[in-house]
Structure 1
Amino acid sequence: MSGWGHEPSEERGHAPWSAHEPHGGVPPWAAQTQTHLASPYAQAPPPGPALRLRRLLPAVLAAVVLGVGAGAGVWALVRDDARATVTITPPTTATPPTTTTPPTTTTPPTPLPAGYRSVEDPVGYTLLVPEDWIRRQQPGQKAPVVFYDAPDDGRRLQIFEITEQDYAQSQQVAETAAGYGFRNRPGYRPLTRDSGPGFTELSYRYDDEANGPRLVIDRRFESADGTPYTIRSSGPEHLAPDLVRAPLTTALASFCPTGADCA
């Protein structure tokens, strides 16, 4: 006959409980069963480690998320603050050394020789003449003949444009022409002759009917614009030759036809 009381034991064929145990004892299965039938009013035992871990994990994750968000917020705040406060300075470039240009020095005009003045003659040229000499003019073949006369010692400058293109030929004609040439004058005697590129010169003496013995220096030359001119200086023969030559030398050095480049 089978039944739950006669079921073979796992040890020696006996039932799970001993026959020698006193009657009225609690079978092992009963005690075990009573352990799991707790009263609903009994206090729940504390949760096990696994349950506590499951409950703590969401809180930890939330804290981590909050912490990460707070860190990101702080980083963003610092980053934004850095953007607001950092000033980008453009790279500096090397400044080339400042060079100072010296002021242009204007060469002052050459001082006039003592006792001379610059004149712009209406005939068409400029030159230097003694300060107190007086200008006059007479008709000439091609242009007026201009005179500058000293007021007291009989010296004179005479300026005119010559008709011949060859200044050397012009002087030869002026000396030798029949009727009016220099050699036809009373007491004529040539003193010196000189010539060079662009000029020819003859000095002589003669006896003037009105003014007595005269010393004359006749210079014929090509001017800066190519026009041939004569400048003749004369004075009483008793004066030192240098006094007669000086006005001629200054006039020649300063003579410039109007509009010509005489630099």
Structure 2
Amino acid sequence: MRIFDADRQEWASHEQEQRIAELHDRDAVRQDKALRGAVSVLAVCALAFGGWALGWKDEPEPTGYLTAVEQPEASPEDTPSPSAPGGPPDGYETVQDAFGYRLALPDEGWTRSTADAVYGPDIVNYRNFDGSRRLQVYKVQEPSGYESLQVWLDQPKRRLPDGFDRLDLTRADVGGLPSARLDYLADSLKDEPDIGPWYVIDQRFESVDGELYALAVYGADADGRSDEEALMETALAWFCPPEEICPEPAD
């Protein structure tokens, strides 16, 4: 078989034909190896690119622009934690209670304690340095504040404070929500210091969350009742129930 030498554009002799055939066979083998090598390289590159692309796709998005921060849950403390100074009356500070209540207290370094409650969270008591004044807050179980006070008044007399003297029981809305108030005197109160007759304001009311709460103010009757009135008025104005956002009251 003769072979046409395409490079020289001529027919080759027998020896040349054999030489050309050998060269063609060798070149064919080299080309086949080169082709298979190129395919292998392309396959490796494709796998590498695919792995990189998948890894890039699975990378988490940057979070540096996020501003929300998860806050740790508050735990009950022995002393109140005042908030930043704002709008309470002179001599008062706002306090965020460990149970979630927002309150306003005199800035005299009142201390906090709790007592077991029949309903809801523990009863919270704030007292001044010598225990002669107290602010109490707790949840109310009855359908309304007025009914709750009636239930308390209807209990056996032996369970009422020593020397109990009812002064007034009234209904009055607080912030457009139903409320009731009981004023009374007591010669003494259990576990409280002996300061003479106590003057007590017990206010039970519905708050913005639809739940019922009680605020009670205790103080010595001997020095007048204006300080207890001011403490209750400020406490009611600044009270905010747990998990609610309440605007600051207007002056």
TM range (shorter): 0.5 to 0.7
Letter in 1 for 2:217: S
Cα pair distance change 1:112/1:196, threshold 3 Å: closer
Matched residue, 2:165: 189
**Distance in 1 between residues matched to 2:153 and 2:238, nearest whole Å:** 26
- The one-letter amino acid of 1:251's match is A
- Report whether the alignment pairs 1:112 with 2:88: yes
1:111 positional shift: 2.5
User: How far 1:167 moved relative to its partner?
Assistant: 1.5
Question: Are the structure 2 counterparts of residues 253 and 148 from structure 1 closer, same or farther at C-alpha, using a change threshold of 3 Å?
Answer: same
Matched, 1:222 2:203: no
Instruction: Name 2:241's counterpart in structure 1.
Output: 257
**1:218–1:230 Cα contact (<8 Å) kept:** yes
- Amino acid across the alignment from 1:169: E
Higher RCO structure (Cα 8 Å, ≥6 apart): 2
Measured in 1, the distance between the counterparts of 2:197 and 2:88 equals: 32
What residue in structure 1 maps to residue 156 of structure 2? Answer: 178
Aligned-partner SS, 1:247: helix
State the distance in 2 between where 1:150 and 1:196 align.
Answer: 28
Q: In the alignment, which residue of structure 1 is the partner of 2:28? A: none
Is the aligned partner of 1:137 residue 2:114?
yes
For residues 143-173 of structure 1, the C-alpha deviation after alignment (integer angstroms, 9 at most, x for no partner) is 1111110113601101111121221111101
Aligned partner of residue 246 in structure 1, secondary structure: helix
The answer (yes or no) to whether the contact 2:202–2:215 under 8 Å persists in 1 is yes
Q: Which amino acid aligns with 1:178?
A: P
Structure 2: runs of 5+ lacking an equivalent: 1-84
Q: Give the Å deviation of 1:230.
A: 0.5
* Residue among 237, 241, 263 paired with 2:221: 237
Aligned partner of 2:185 in structure 1 is: 205
User: For residues 131 and 97 of structure 2, what CA distance do their matches in structure 1 show?
Assistant: 23
Rounded to whole Å, the distance in 1 between the matches of 2:86 and 2:141 is 33
User: Which residue number in structure 2 is paired with residue 146 of structure 1?
Assistant: 124
SS at match of 2:102: strand
Q: Do the aligned partners of 1:173 and 1:181 also contact (CA within 8 Å) in 2? A: no
Q: TM-score, normalised by structure 2?
A: 0.57
1:10 is aligned to none
Quote the offset at 1:236 in angstroms.
1.2
Counterpart amino acid of residue 133 in structure 1: W
What is the identity, as a one-letter code, of the residue corresponding to 2:129? P
| Counterparts of 2:121 and 2:127, CA distance in 1 | 19
- In the alignment of these two chains, the number of paired residues is 153
- Paired residues of 1:224 and 1:261 also in contact (CA < 8 A): no
Cα distance change of structure 1 residues 153 and 143 upon mapping to structure 2, 3 Å threshold: closer
The match for 1:52 is none
Within 2, Cα distance between the matches of 1:153 and 1:164? 29
Q: Is the 8 A contact 1:148 1:156 kept in 2?
A: yes
TM-score, normalised to structure 1, is 0.54
Instruction: Work out the CA distance in 2 between the residues paired with 1:260 and 1:112.
Output: 19
- Specify the SS of the correspondent of 2:229: helix
One-letter amino acid of the structure 1 residue matched with residue 226 of structure 2: D
Secondary structure, aligned partner of 2:187? strand
Displacement after TM superposition at 1:126 (Å): 0.7
- Structure showing greater Rg: 1
